[in-house]
Amino acid sequence: MGQIEWAMWANEQALASGLILITGGIVATAGRFTQWYFGTYSIAAGVFICLLEYPRGKRKKGSTMERCGQKYMTSVVKLFGPLTRNYYVRAVLHLLLSVPAGFLLATILGTACLAIASTIYLLAAIRGEQWIPIEPKPKERPQVGGTIKQPPTNPPPRPPAEVRKKPSVEEEGAGGPQVNPIPVTDEVV
Amino acid sequence: RETVSRIQIASNLYLTMGNWLVDHWLSVLILVAWLGLNIFLFVYAFLIYEKADKYFYTREILGTALAFARASALCLNCNSMLILIPVCRNLLSFLRGTCSFCNHTLRKPLDHNLTFHKLVAYMICVFTAIHIIAHLFNFEHYSRSQQAMDGSLASVLSSLSRHEKESNSWLNPIQSPNMTVIYATFTSIAGLTGVILTIALILMVTSAVEFIRRNYFELFWYTHHLFIIYIICLALHGMGGIVRAQTEDSMGESHPYNCSKSFHEWDKYVSSCRRPHFEGHPPESWKWILAPIALYIFERILRFYRSQQRVVITKVVMHPSNVLELQMRKRGFSMEVGQYIFVNCPSVSLLEWHPFTLTSAPEEDFFSIHIRSAGDWTENLIRAFEHQHSPMPRIQVDGPFGTVSEDVFQFEVAVLVGAGIGVTPFASILKSIWYKFQRADHKLKTQKIYFYWICRETGAFAWFNNLLSSLEQEMEELGKIGFLNYRLFLTGWDSNIAGHAALNFDKATDILTGLKQKTSFGRPMWDNEFSTIATAYPKSVVGVFLCGPQTLAKSLSKCCHRYSSLDPRKVQFYFNKEIF
């Protein structure tokens, strides 16, 4: 169990709670239930929570599956720095947000689920987890010719013109012994 | 030319759909039957509560929300019954075993058990939402009619109190105008159990999403046991008798058709109408879920019993890249190719069971698994076996489970494609094919195998390498070099590796793997491969089997269509999509 990142589950739970709050809020407001204004609050709180929790944080190990289109919300959530990075803040925030919805039966389920999410975030915070945004990886383009500043100015060194001439026909017979230009004596003792 | 290719595409499409339907007709039938059952139950209950006379007065207060709540309740009962059955894997194995004479197609739905479990779960979530919303309206209406002072029928009905002499005459569970709906909910059995089981359901769902399940399996496994709370609360949910209908006697005496208009004069001497009397229903959920609960308890006992049987570890091999091979024996264990087992190691973790594909062939006298380090449990297990001086940890095994694709032996030419970790079941298959070939097993129709192994780097699969090289050797000894044609494709290559390969082009064995067949880099060009095979075997039926990602499945099935000849006597490629 040591490798469980509780914040990941808290995130799913909070997202679900947001949706439940929105649904309960819509039912209460549309049906004009008693104290239905709590329902309107619930819709607003639910939308806020869904937006906050939509971008998934980065896992400590391994690759993280992004939610569809989350990069827009990631950039917004990132702006708040430590307020959104720290899970203690999120735990307290969710707990406070859940309280007003507890006054209405239609949204009390949302309250319970959000309170549970808050508890899991608290556990995550105690274990030192943090919200790390998933950054898009910069595309590594192969630097073609990055080190070429300018073409070479000098031609490559070549041996003198005589040697570059094609070898004469006599030398084609590779089987024959070598003809020495200077007589060589073989000193055999 | 274009018309010909259009006709080819169209006929291939029909052939595919036809093939798919032939393979999957039973699954489709089950799905349609299940949807039909849900629709039927919903409409049936809806009509009863919307039209029946005994609910006339109830509808007066609640309206149509009553019918929605009760209809969704009936569907919830049915789906809660169905959801436990697909997870009884021993029962399903038993069914598969007794149906072994059945066609492979008939057994296919048994392999999609988890998909069905998830579908039923989604349905439960949908109906739970409908049920809760409908009851929110119901409670609100009850509350309003209790507070109403307008002398309407609804308020008269609500004033029928439960504290009077005839305790059965009440209709409205909210008895005083001061009682809030929240209070009424949490002080009734139905309300309290309803809230608890919904919370349990939500927690189960949020911890079962793919992301959590794949990466933090233990969290999913333990949280999912909240289903016990769900089941208990469901059984207790209907005990309060809070949904009330007019009693038979009361209907005989004062039928709503006659008496509903004259509610001001009920119980007055002049009128013939008496106050209506109501009764609640006995709970019915337990009737639906009792049998599956019994089955599931039996299943868990069976799992426990099977796991207690002794597993003898005959050999432990540490392969490169931290891969542990365990060869084991267990009394009464019999497997087929491509199956998997669940393994538990009490010294590592008492409660966790993890699945592993079997890598041994049925012809061998042991069964084996290869365990790669992929998380807490696997790391601890490998470490436990590495300690040479401490006694060997005990292992418990449940299984084998899983689909058995015997089709793999039925094709003259078999094209086997294993990508990444999907190569594991092919260890079992290749070994089994080889054994069958050696013994000249008549069940084996295979004459030629093309095996494609695609992975990023061979590191963790060095053991598979060894398997291939030993198969290579044995085939040479028997003089049957052409039987197995395998290619390895490394997709995680860089210029270094490619440079090395270019330098060592002339060597007889591959520098990376030591095998006679050279490693290729990058992904296979399936068009080339398929056209080569089609040319080499112009009159054969070729079976294509894949264990790998969906994208690969798509390209392979496209190639199968493209290279299958229109003439059924010529080469035909059959793509087996569901494998292992």
Q: What is the pLDDT of residues B135-152, one digit of tens each?
A: 999 999 999 998 887 888
8 Å CB contact of A27 and B133: yes
> Which residue has tokens 């070549």?
A158
Mean pLDDT of residues grouped by 10 in chain B (580 residues)? 70 65 77 96 96 91 94 96 90 71 61 85 97 95 88 83 71 87 92 96 94 83 94 94 88 84 76 83 92 94 85 89 90 85 88 86 92 83 83 86 72 86 84 82 80 79 81 78 82 70 67 65 84 86 84 83 77 70
Give B483-527 as a DSSP string. Answer: GEEEEEEESS--HHHHHHHHHTTT-SS-TTT--SSPEEES---HH
d(CA B519, CA B500): 12
Q: Is B130 on the interface with A (CB under 8 A)?
A: no
Chain A nearest-CA distance from B91, in A, is: 30
Kindly tell me the burial class for residue B517, based on how many C-beta atoms sit within 10 Å of its own C-beta (0-12, 13-18, 19 or more): middle
Q: Is B438 on the interface with A (CB under 8 A)?
A: no
8 Å CB contact of A105 and B209: no
d(CA B285, CA B231): 10
Q: Is B475 on the interface with A (CB under 8 A)?
A: no
8 Å CB contact of B202 and A113: yes
- Reported as half-sphere exposure (CB side, CA atoms, 13 A), residue B455 has a value of 18
Summarize the confidence of residues A45-51 as an average pLDDT: 95
Chain A nearest-CA distance from B132, in A, is: 9
**pLDDT band (50, 70, 90) for residue A173:** very low
Angle, to 10 degrees, between the axis of helix B65-83 and the axis of helix B2-51? 120
Residue A170 has pLDDT above 60, yes or no: no
- To test the contact with chain A by mutation, choose from B64, B146, B216 the residue with the greatest count of A C-beta atoms within 10 A, namely B216
Q: Is B136 on the interface with A (CB under 8 A)?
A: yes
Task: Give the per-residue pLDDT at B23.
Answer: 61
Summarize the confidence of residues A11-33 as an average pLDDT: 95
Task: State how far the alpha carbon of B370 is from the alpha carbons of B317, B357, B545, in Å.
Answer: 9, 8, 21
Identity of the residue numbered B567: D
d(CA A149, CA A52): 48
CA A17 to chain centre: 25
d(CA B207, CA A135): 25
Chain B nearest-CA distance from A162, in A, is: 35
Chain B nearest-CA distance from A17, in A, is: 9
Task: Give the per-residue pLDDT at B539.
Answer: 84
Handedness of CA B514, B518, B521, B527 (dihedral sign): negative
**pLDDT band (50, 70, 90) for residue A134:** confident
- Beta carbons of B455 and B490 less than 8 angstroms apart: yes
Task: Give the per-residue pLDDT at B227.
Answer: 96
Instruction: Name the helix (H) or strand (E) containing B2.
Output: helix B2-51
What's the order of all strands across the beta sheet hosting B340-344? B354-357, B340-344, B396-401
**pLDDT band (50, 70, 90) for residue A172:** very low
Q: Dig out the tokens for A2 from the structure.
A: 């040591």
Q: Where would I find the beta strands (DSSP E) of B360-491?
A: 367-372, 396-401, 413-419, 448-455, 484-490
**Quick one: closest CA in B to A115, which residue?**
B199
**pLDDT band (50, 70, 90) for residue A169:** very low
Task: Give the per-residue pLDDT at B182.
Answer: 92
d(CA B236, CA B196): 11
Q: Is B140 on the interface with A (CB under 8 A)?
A: yes
Q: Is the pTM of this model over 0.80?
A: no
8 Å CB contact of A3 and B209: no
8 Å CB contact of A12 and B211: yes
Task: Quick: pLDDT tens for B430-446.
Answer: 888 888 877 877 777 88
Task: Give the per-residue pLDDT at B506.
Answer: 67
- Reported as half-sphere exposure (CB side, CA atoms, 13 A), residue B91 has a value of 15
Task: Quick: pLDDT tens for B354-406.
Answer: 888 899 999 899 999 999 887 778 888 998 888 877 788 889 988 788 766 66
Task: Give the per-residue pLDDT at B490.
Answer: 81
- Nearest beta carbon to residue A109 from set B198, B212, B219: B198
- Chain A residues within an 8 Å CB radius of B137: 27, 31
Chain A nearest-CA distance from B78, in A, is: 24
Task: Give the per-residue pLDDT at B401.
Answer: 80
Task: Give the per-residue pLDDT at B486.
Answer: 84
Q: Is A36 on the interface with B (CB under 8 A)?
A: no
Residue A18: CB atoms within 10 A of its CB come to: 27
Residue A56 has pLDDT above 70, yes or no: yes
8 Å CB contact of B181 and A105: yes
- Which has more pLDDT, B24 or A118? A118
Q: Is B462 on the interface with A (CB under 8 A)?
A: no
8 Å CB contact of A59 and B215: yes
CB pairs under 8 A between A and B: 73
- Chain B residues within an 8 Å CB radius of A20: 202
d(CA A182, CA A144): 54
Residue B344's nearest CA partner among B221, B213, B429, B209 is B221
Q: Dig out the tokens for B306 from the structure.
A: 């099977």
Q: Is A28 on the interface with B (CB under 8 A)?
A: yes
Residue A165 has pLDDT above 50, yes or no: yes
- Beta carbons of B196 and B233 less than 8 angstroms apart: yes
Q: Dig out the tokens for B32 from the structure.
A: 């349609």
